[in-house]
Structure 1
Amino acid sequence: MAEVSLKGIKKSYGRVDVIKGVDIHINEGEFVVFVGPSGCGKSTLLRVIAGLEDVTEGTLEIGGRVVNELQPRERGVAMVFQSYAIFPHMTVRENIAFGLTIAGASKQEKQQKVAEAARILQMEHLLDRRPSQLSGGQRQRVAIGRAITRKPAVFLFDEPLSNLDAALRMDMRMEIGRLRRQLGTTMIYVTHDQVEAMTLADRIVVLKDGQVMQIGAPMELYHEPANRFVAGFLGAPSMNFLNVDVLDLDGEAATVGNQSLEPITVATKRRPFRKGGKAILGIRPQYLRAMQAGKGMLHGAVAHAERLGSETVVDLTLRDDRELIAAFNEDKIFQPGDVLELAFDPALAHLFPEEERSAIVAP
């Protein structure tokens, strides 16, 4: 196991800045997930740590030593790729042992380490098969097995589940979680899938345009997003954002409302607002409740409803023609045109400045 520290890391390709000064400290044995939309720089950052990309500026430390100038094989890391990167003409046993073969390991060492990796991944019965005889999840386990045999100080995962179908992704998430508990090794995992991030991570690093938007535990980011980007990125369905008027300010509370929303008081959480100005109110769909007539804070007409078994997601049109998504934790029937009155606990809402700078929050 090893700590990983990124200090002022920048990566540029010519005049294009892809990583714009990132500071992250990853503790020994920690599972950290880099998450963000396509093009945010998360895979580039992982490749910088692996040594597959040079650092343009800044210092990268693994296990307390600066590794900026070290080759990938000298860094004590092992990387698992999205594309599996296993050889079709080799058996599972040969694929898992490939790195050891290249390193000149003895036959006995290879047998021992392959057997150990196969036991950990519960794939002893697959060792003599070829990749064409394996499922996508089994092929990914072969790639992970090859990484395990190297006994790295840090595991790096680059969107390893994105080629799998939904059911296999869930199985492999559980597999990786189990692997982490068994090995206790420092792991850095890149994904665009927030479900993977929320279920696997000790801490999540949210990236946008090559910058860190926020770092924290999954539920910390979910309940206390530092900015509108993080609030909208984490959570499914995405958080609703309503344009509101700031009617009054009192200490760290603001009274807000609009044409569709009756005045409510919410915490400002020390964000800057001006009485008479504009703001953005964030409400998670799961926090909206259907109310009896005359008791709602919001009124909307049903445009579309999706019954998902344990949950019903409803797309509504408000009085000012804006869209609102509600997610009810039950199987309910709604018809297009039905008018709903909705309420929510103001303590669960978030208020953001109308023009929010991309503040970097990395505690």
Structure 2
Amino acid sequence: MNSDLTWSVRPLGAADVDAAVELLNLTSPSDVRHLLRADLGVLAAARDAPGRALVAERDGRLVGAAKVSEDLVFLGTAATRIAVDPAERGRGIGTALADRLMEDPLVTGRDGAAAGTVTSSLRDDLPRGRAFAERYGFGVLHHSVGFRFDLTGHEAELAQRAGSALERAGVRVRLADPSTEQEAIVECAERCRPGIPLPYGERPVDPYAWLADCPPGTVFLLAEPIQAEHGPAAGADVTTGTVRADAITVLTPLTDTNRWHVAFTATDPVRRGRGVAAAVKAASLLYACRAGVETVTTHNDVTNEPILRANRTLGMVPHVGYWTLTRPTGASATAPEAF
């Protein structure tokens, strides 16, 4: 408990999960509440689960939350988040939460903790939060810039752009059903991933955990080479005769809104530079527009100039992005200022 007895830090309980989810989601440029709810639910229910979750409370109201847990997608990492109610910042609540969080074995490396890297992601319009993380030994590894497209009234324009882009790239786009085409989705995503800047650098990724993390209603679009009049399509697997997708894009619905987010777009390395990524992204905007979605957002690494150029060509405008920050397990930190 702090010196003036106005707030206290304690372990997260089951009754705290919903409020903690809303607080922690404030640090993200996109809606990650479905992931946070699952993560915090496990940490609240199973005290022996790797990691910990904490809350700060004032007069019976949650004013801060923090968690560290194993990242099942980016293997060998532990994911952290800390958030304080904007009205309560500057009182040392974030510092108290961080000090407790940094004692966890996933961060310190004690007790045989498996994570070799501790990670965090933070929206890029919170420079004070970035400075706070840096004082705990985190450094920015990647910066993903944000884009937005307001779809209302643009169907005709999007249809024209998508049609032209698909024709130039020589592909068609189809909807893939994750309940029956899991292997096709995973195969395409894994084949297209090499060379794409990942949030936490080059490290093993569990594609099935990634797929499981996608919220209900996620849309998977595959760009397939158009079948030639004679002979196999350019992307055909000659051993099976099946057509392999050239690219994939994934759209996730944002909770309680009429907005979607393009969570992932990637192209087979052998088909890059031919407009396939731009075509599948254009098709994704058209698909969202025809589904009645009002706004689509996306994030792409600041170094990925081809996809940034495609976003601008499609008419997308700047939006909030995010930093990914990392520190090695067991790294030391300087004394932080109150947050």
| Higher RCO (C-alpha under 8 Å, 6+ residues apart) | 2
Say which one has the larger Rg. 1
| Normalised TM-score (structure 2) | 0.28
